[in-house]
Every structure is written in C-alpha cells, then in structure tokens.
Structure 1
Amino acid sequence: MIDVHYVTFDCARPYELATFWSRATGWEIHPETEVDDDEVLVSGAPNLLFIRVPEGKSVKNRVHLDVNGSGGTTRDQEVERLAGLGATVHEDRRRPDGSGWVVMLDPEGNEFCVCRADYEKQP
C-alpha cells in the first residue's frame, strides 16, 4: 500500500501555475516560497508540486485531475469561477440530463475535468 505524497506538474512558470492552483483549491503555497523558485509546493491532500522544466507541453496529459465543487457550489459555478482565475474551457461534455463534465485547461495548458459533486446528482 502507498500514500500519494505529491502530484507533480512540469511547467515553465512554477510560481504562477502554483498560484492558479492555490486559488482554485484554496490550499496554501508553502510559506518559504520565492517567486523565482524552480519548485513550488501547494500544500493539500494530495500536495501539488510545480517544477520548472525547459521543454513546453506538447501532447495531451496522460494523468489529469478531476475536480468538483464543495460547500454547495455546482459544477457550472466552478467552471465560471475557474475561468475567472485563468483556466479555459477545452471541451464541454455536459449533457442535457445534467450529467457529464467540462474539460478545462489551466494557464499552462494542462487538462483537468470539472465534474458534478455528489450532492448535485439526482437519485
């Protein structure tokens, strides 16, 4: 059995991308972080680690995060909030019956999906 310690993102601008994900999740950036650090940690469950790499993103992510609202926010409210933070809608896979998800891109083009929270689903 293992514990997931970090989910790591290769990126060009670690501090900027960590700031987006910190605002998206409400989790804190490690307090000793400097703006020009090559590694930036966002403490959460799991921790998110952003590491500067020289090459850019060139293909679809093989691993991505699925997220949903909390505290009563809906999938659609979260899509709007995340877009306001700098994410973009990549594919809208919502269905007329309310099921489905929205594929979004973070500011460096990493895919993630916004799904409905369990409290949004009809019995």
Structure 2
Amino acid sequence: MGTAERSGLWIDEPARRRRMPDPVRTSAVRAVLIVALTLVQAMIAVLCTLADSWLAFPMVLSSVGSTVVATWGVLDVWVTRQVWNQRHGVVSVPASTARQLRKERRQARRAARSRRGVARPDSVNIRRRGRAGQLTHS
C-alpha cells in the first residue's frame, strides 16, 4: 500500500471565503446564464452581418434587448446582495486605524479619571431631566 491510499486521495482545506447566501447565488447564476446567452446572440448577429444574411437585422435588435436584460441581471445580483446584507447583517471589522484611535481615546479617558482621583458619586452620573433644549412635561 502506498502513502496515497493510507492518507486518502486528497486533503480537505478550509474555504478561503464564506459561501454566498442562497438568494445571491441564485441571482448570480441567473445573471451568468443571461450574459452567456447575450454574448452568443451578439456573436451570431456579427456572423449574420458578415454573411449578409437576412437574419442579421433581427439578431442585432434582439441583441440590444438582451443587453438590457443582461444589465438588469447583473444589477439584480448587486441589489440582492445589498438587501441580504441589510436584512441579515454583516460582520463588520473596523479598520486598524479606527481601532487604534478608539484605544487611544479610551486610554486618555482612563488617565483623566485616574488624575481626578476618586470617582464621582453615582448620583452625579445620573442624567437630569428637563435640561435646556429638551421637551418635558414639567
């Protein structure tokens, strides 16, 4: 027995990117099929034009219509992806510069608090109602 038989025929590796959501994948497949058919149709229109066939004019007209449909298909993928992201949320990783700025601000606040000494009592930290600029019933 060789090493290939003992270890298997292949080694599974983790995916580099997450799988596309089903609605996005469906619209992407639809768009690829529409674009492929449009390209075939355009090629037939060109060949019919070169051959001086009577079919050239109808094929050119239908190619223009197919181009509009193909554009719609590609935009459908983009819109479906945006809608899915908006409804299901996206894991957002802040940029390293934003993370660094937040860390520096946090450290500055802690340093300022430690310089002041004892923390203020809880009663001072409670927000008062009825300050200027707020609507109240009092």
Report TM bin, short chain: under 0.3
If you compute each CA radius of gyration, which structure gives the higher value, 1 or 2? 2
- Greater per-residue helix proportion: 2
TM-score (norm 1): 0.20
TM-score by length of 2: 0.18
